[in-house]
Amino acid sequence: MISFSAPGKIHLLGEHAVVYGKPAVLAAIDLRVHVKISPSRHADLNKESDSLKKIIEPIVKKELKIKKIPPYDLKILSEIPVGSGLGSSAAVSSAYIAAILSFLNVKWNLELVNNLAYEAEKVFHGNPSGADNFVVVYGGVVWFHKQTEPVKLSSQIKQFMLIDSGKPVESTKEMVEKVRIKLQESRIEVQKIFDDQERLVKELVVALKDGNQNQLISIIRQGEKNLESLGVVGRKAQNIIRLVEKTGGVAKISGAGGVKSGSGMLLCYHPHPKTLLSFTKTHYLPTLSIALGEKGLLLCR
């Protein structure tokens, strides 16, 4: 049996703007997906794995210039909520691709897995930045910019929380398209938002390095307001975020967002975590504690 795991990810700041050439800061988190492949005499008939195979196998076949992959059984165990902005598709794709390459006895490296995972992300999301698959494969806290080489960052602030605002009705692809349409209709307004997000991302790098909690809170609060101006944060999530802010903390969407219902997982930070936990319990909000900067793709022994 061949087994790989890959982490989920969060956007600390820069989602949507990163698609249009602006920088973003992302981090691998300590929620992982585990993919296992074992040789089989017959093709796996599991419907869930079959739909994934239809996306991943053609990408691998094209890269290796082969027409057929021997039958195998595929098992996926995930701690990452699907469709909640935590990079589930990138994590599954990366671990699955590495497992197939190993199954085929192909000599591979992280760069190859990252490139192929990016191709899978195009199928899942239409016009991805490449940031999700990169941080999932390489791990850590990352400065990502489409025009330059990604850079690993240091962070003195590692402990955050996630509040579930509800799974979005819209797909990531639909939310990315929503921003594209808004950019076409209001180019000057949206470009100003993207420029301000770039400023905040640069300030965030310094705040993380210095462990400056007050600056971090201010930056994330401003960044979330910009995301709301883009129209990617639903009313339910906004209400939760405003309540978190009243407790002295801060929260923002952690992925593409959603407006019709939930907006996915909200990334939250509070200088006094017990206060935030008390708030979430009082309001019956599902909450997870997470750590940033986790290892990327791993071969499991």
- For the chain, domains (ranges, CATH) are 2-154 (3.30.230.10), 159-291 (3.30.70.890)
Residue 44's pLDDT is 64
CB 228 within 8 A of CB 252: no
* CA dihedral of residues 91, 294, 172, 114 (deg, nearest 10): -50
- How high is the mean pLDDT of the chain? 93
Residue 129's pLDDT is 82
Residue 41's pLDDT is 77
Given a cut of 90, whether residue 301 has pLDDT beyond it is: no
| DSSP line for the chain | -EEEEEEEEEEEE-TTGGGGT--EEEEEEEEEEEEEEEE-SS----HHHHHHHHHHHHHHHHHHT-S----EEEEEEE-SPTTSSS-HHHHHHHHHHHHHHHHTT----HHHHHHHHHHHHHHHHSS--SHHHHHHHHBSEEEE-TTS--EEE--S--EEEEEE----SS-HHHHHHHHHHHHHHSHHHHHHHHHHHHHHHHHHHHHHHHT-HHHHHHHHHHHHHHHHHHT-B-HHHHHHHHHHHHTT-EEEE-SS-BSSS---EEEEE-SSHHHHHHHHHHTT--EEEEEBS-B-SEE--
pLDDT in tens, 87-130: 899 999 999 999 999 999 999 999 999 999 999 999 987 778 88
C-alpha radius of gyration, the chain, whole number: 19
Residue 23's pLDDT is 95
pLDDT above 70 covers a percentage of the chain that reads: 98
The more confident residue out of 19 and 129 is 19
Least confident span in 36-45, 75-84, 198-207, 279-288: 36-45
Given a cut of 80, whether residue 18 has pLDDT beyond it is: yes
pLDDT in tens, 162-189: 999 999 999 888 999 999 999 999 999 9
Compute the distance between CA of residue 15 and CA of residue 227 in angstroms, rounded to an integer: 9
Q: How confident is the model at residue 85 (pLDDT cuts 50, 70, 90)?
A: confident
pLDDT in tens, 28-68: 999 999 999 998 877 665 666 778 899 999 999 999 999 99
- Find the catalytic residue in 44, 132, 196, 210: 132
CB 173 within 8 A of CB 126: yes
pLDDT in tens, 125-164: 777 888 999 999 999 999 999 888 999 999 999 899 999 9
pLDDT above 90 covers a percentage of the chain that reads: 84
Q: How confident is the model at residue 232 (pLDDT cuts 50, 70, 90)?
A: very high
Compute the distance between CA of residue 8 and CA of residue 22 in angstroms, rounded to an integer: 22
The more confident residue out of 128 and 193 is 193
* Catalytic site includes residue 30: no
Residue 118 Cα distances to 65, 91, 149, 226, angstroms = 18, 11, 15, 27
Q: What pTM did the predictor assign? A: 0.90
Residue 283's pLDDT is 93
Residue 184's pLDDT is 94
Residue 48's pLDDT is 64
What integer is the mean pLDDT of 17-22?
92
Compute the distance between CA of residue 157 and CA of residue 295 in angstroms, rounded to an integer: 16
Given a cut of 70, whether residue 200 has pLDDT beyond it is: yes
